[in-house]
Amino acid sequence: MPYKFVQEHVWDKYLKKDRLPHIWCPGCGLGTALSAFLMGIELAKIDLDKLVVVSGIGCAGRAAGYLNVDTFHTTHGRPIPFAIGLKLARPDLHVVVFSGDGDLATIGGNHLIHAARRNHDILVICSNNFNYGMTGGQVGATTPENAITTTTPYGNLENPFDLPYLVTAAGAVYVARWTSLHVRRLAKSIAEALQLKGFRFIEVLSQCPTVYGRRNNMPTGLDMLKFFKENCVIKNYAHPKDVEIKPGKKIIIGKFIDKTEEKLSFEDKVWNLIKKLERGK
Amino acid sequence: MTLKPGMYFMSGNEAIAEGAIMAGCRFFAGYPITPSSEIAERLAKRLPQVGGIFIQMEDELASMITIIGASWGGLKAMTATSGPGFSLMQENLGFAVMTETPVVVVDVQRGSPSTGLPTLIGQGDIMQAKWGSHGPYEIIALSPSTVQECFDFAIKAFNLAEKYRVPVIVLMDERISHLYEKVVVPPKEKLILVERKRPKSRENFLPYKAEEDLIPPMPPVGEGYHFHITGLTHDERGYPKIDAETHEKLVRRLSDKIRIHADEIIHIDEIMMDDAEIAIVAFGSVVRPARYAIKYARKKGIKVGLIKLSTIWPFPDKMFQKYADRIKAFVVAEINYGQISREVKRCVGDRAKVHLVPKMGGAIHTPEEILNAILEVK
């Protein structure tokens, strides 16, 4: 039999192929993060007709649009409340928010903490590239101290959010942090989280060589991945208060919180109430 | 249960809530703000009773986008607010326009700008309702002037939103929202309820391919369509396309789908206009003193009629043009410093006098104030 080229890529069924190529820069970590998401969907055996992915604005915000499921590209900072409306209306669907740190934690920070507080039944995958990539590399709420960005030319004077600590304090029931280097662990974590209930949050540290690394002594994607390799330490169930990202300190990654059994999601409570009132008629 | 047919005594805010439930609204997301809060309070109690969902959000930005999410989830959805909250909703209101999402937004206008007069009347959000979000677009806005109309227009707002796939604004004012009056609830079989059109099949379906009426069928989520929805300029597939041609076609259609149906959408009450030489133009609470002013003027032998704007947007250009040559003067009484009056001026040009009777807010016009304006232009 003559040799036949394989025309189909293993991830093709998960992608809107007519949307490719994607817009991300060479060396960017978002493609890897998205692949890990696809791997997670496959591992969790999620029915693609019952999966909805919502993004906000920014580089990561474009992720939803490449997926071969129902996808929504919403306004800046607002994918979480959009997802909440959708999930409340359609409790039978898996609703995932895939977006960036600037979108979810800076402009959308208020929605992030309140969604965690109310324990909405959604999975939030937050790609953290430490800055605003799409607009040219400005400082954000996750930019490390002293880092150079286009709006902190003398070094960042602000203190960044420690996202796992923030969402844990607000009430998230599943909290993990991985990087675009730890693909398989990330995929497994996504698969696990997809099958749980309540407000689940996975931070993915992701390299942005083009507008962040270049200004901070890591000019290529490989440099940034090397940085993750040399500086990350896996510590499952580390207390989120101990995982702050600080210059000169190791980056703690792993699954920090898993207490999805401990409380009902807001959606469950709402639908329980409706059923109770119906029975009382 | 939805309200049984019969007679009720309720406030404008309560009537809005009950009308919405009657229209099939099953989702409310909002943030408390005076003078609209009773709408949320009523729906917090009533929605779960009819299998609907109520959620109080962290702010108005979230409220607006949450109802858009719920609408894509298949529910008729609304929010209610007042000026400051309405300002915060504008970006996502534009998102609803761009993605053609049926939603209803109630804006109970209070004295403004800024925090202004939280507990007192204003009518200053007329232009914001039309132009508040960025870019060229058309929108529908209704203005009730009785509690009965609050009930009726809530139903109408949902019908229009579903039919044209556009956000519909109910522009209330504080006085109507807190006024208690009789409401007649009709039997269900007398109600006409409109549902969004759905695609007939998934085969070759394009989410933004409009039909002859310029409205595309709205695909249901979770049924294998695998569509993409974006606020970016998009082609018929719903995919982002950043070029002038696609933008021209899309944005034109978004406005034209309202413009070509303007006659069907617009509802205006023309009262005692048959022999009128002067027309008062009013909406919301101001309709009431306007009616008194007409009564007094007619007693003095002045032929005055009333144009009551139940639909504010799209603006009834044709009707004003029809009257432009016959009517000597349009007396526009509004609780702002001239918003509707500009529109009237735009329609009638120099063919008739347009006389503004402004009020900055906090109080409604007295009949005398409007009567004096009539005497001035007579």
User: What's the confidence (pLDDT) of residue B351?
Assistant: 97
Q: How many domains does one find in chain A? A: 1
For position A170, which CATH number holds? 3.40.50.970
Pairing of strands B329-334, B353-358: parallel
Residues B284-304: tens digit of each pLDDT = 999 999 999 999 999 999 999
Return the CATH class of domain B267-377.
alpha beta
Show the tokens assigned to A144: 């490390």
> Residue B130 is which amino acid?
K
What is the nearest CA distance from A73 to chain B, expressed in angstroms?
Answer: 5
Interface of A with B in 24-83 (CB under 8 A): 48-50, 52, 54, 64-65, 68-75, 77-78, 81-83
Residues of A in contact with B222 (CB under 8 A): 49-50, 52, 70, 90, 92-93
CA distance B311 to A231: 63
Comparing CB atoms, the residue among A16, A85, A90 nearest residue B222 is A90
Q: Tell whether A134 is within 8 A of chain B (Cβ).
A: no
Answer positive or negative: Cα dihedral of A62, A64, A65, A66.
positive
Pairing of strands A200-205, A232-234: unpaired
CA distance B164 to B179: 31
Tell me if A20 is assigned to some domain. Answer: no
Tell me if A3 is assigned to some domain. Answer: no
What is the nearest CA distance from B251 to chain A, expressed in angstroms?
Answer: 18
Comparing CB atoms, the residue among A48, A84, A90 nearest residue B221 is A90
- Which 8-state DSSP code applies to residue B217? P
Tell me if A13 is assigned to some domain. Answer: no
CA distance A183 to B173: 56
Sketch the domain layout of chain B as residue ranges: 6-190, 267-377
CA atoms within 13 A on the CB side of A244: 11
**Are A72 and B229 a contacting pair at CB < 8 A?**
yes
What is the nearest CA distance from A230 to chain B, expressed in angstroms?
Answer: 39
User: What's the confidence (pLDDT) of residue B96?
Assistant: 98
* Max Cα distance, chain A (Å): 71
Query: Nearest to residue A30, comparing CAs of A216, A224, A217?
Result: A224
Instruction: Name the closest residue on chain B to residue A14, using Cα atoms.
Output: B226
Domain residue limits at A265: 25-279
Residues A53-64: tens digit of each pLDDT = 999 999 999 999
Asked whether the predicted pLDDT for residue A5 surpasses 80, the reply is no
| Mean pLDDT, chain A, whole residue set | 96
CB atoms within 10 A of CB B342: 14
CA distance A98 to A108: 13
Share of chain A above pLDDT 90, in %: 94
User: What's the confidence (pLDDT) of residue A1?
Assistant: 61
Q: Tell whether A114 is within 8 A of chain B (Cβ).
A: yes
User: Sheet holding B278-282: strands in order across?
Assistant: B268-271, B304-309, B278-282, B329-334, B353-358
Comparing CB atoms, the residue among B29, B59, B227 nearest residue A85 is B29
Burial of B248 (0-12, 13-18, 19+ CB in 10 A): exposed
CA distance B40 to B55: 9
Pairing of strands A232-234, B25-30: unpaired
Q: Does residue A58 contact residue A102 with C-beta atoms inside 8 Å?
A: yes
CA distance B82 to B95: 20
CA atoms within 13 A on the CB side of A218: 22
> Residue A226 is which amino acid?
K
Coil vs helix vs strand at B124: coil
Each residue's pLDDT, cut to its tens digit, for chain B (378 residues) gives: 889 999 999 999 999 999 999 999 999 999 999 999 999 999 999 999 999 999 999 999 999 999 999 999 999 999 999 999 999 999 999 999 999 999 999 999 999 999 999 999 999 999 999 999 999 999 999 999 999 999 999 999 999 999 999 999 999 999 999 999 999 999 999 999 999 999 999 999 999 999 999 999 999 999 999 999 999 999 999 999 999 999 999 999 999 999 999 999 999 999 999 999 999 999 999 999 999 999 999 999 999 999 999 999 999 999 999 999 999 999 999 999 999 999 999 999 999 999 999 999 999 999 999 999 999 998
Return the CATH class of domain B6-190.
alpha beta
Query: Do the domains spanning B6-190 and B267-377 agree at the CATH topology level?
Result: yes
What is the nearest CA distance from A68 to chain B, expressed in angstroms?
Answer: 6
Asked whether the predicted pLDDT for residue A40 surpasses 80, the reply is yes
Q: Tell whether B93 is within 8 A of chain A (Cβ).
A: no
Asked whether the predicted pLDDT for residue A200 surpasses 90, the reply is yes
Residues of A in contact with B24 (CB under 8 A): none
What is the nearest CA distance from B55 to chain A, expressed in angstroms?
Answer: 9
Tell me if A226 is assigned to some domain. Answer: yes
Whether the pTM exceeds 0.90: the reply is yes
**Are B55 and A18 a contacting pair at CB < 8 A?**
no
* Residue carrying structure tokens 């009257």: B323
Q: Tell whether A269 is within 8 A of chain B (Cβ).
A: no
Tell me if A93 is assigned to some domain. Answer: yes
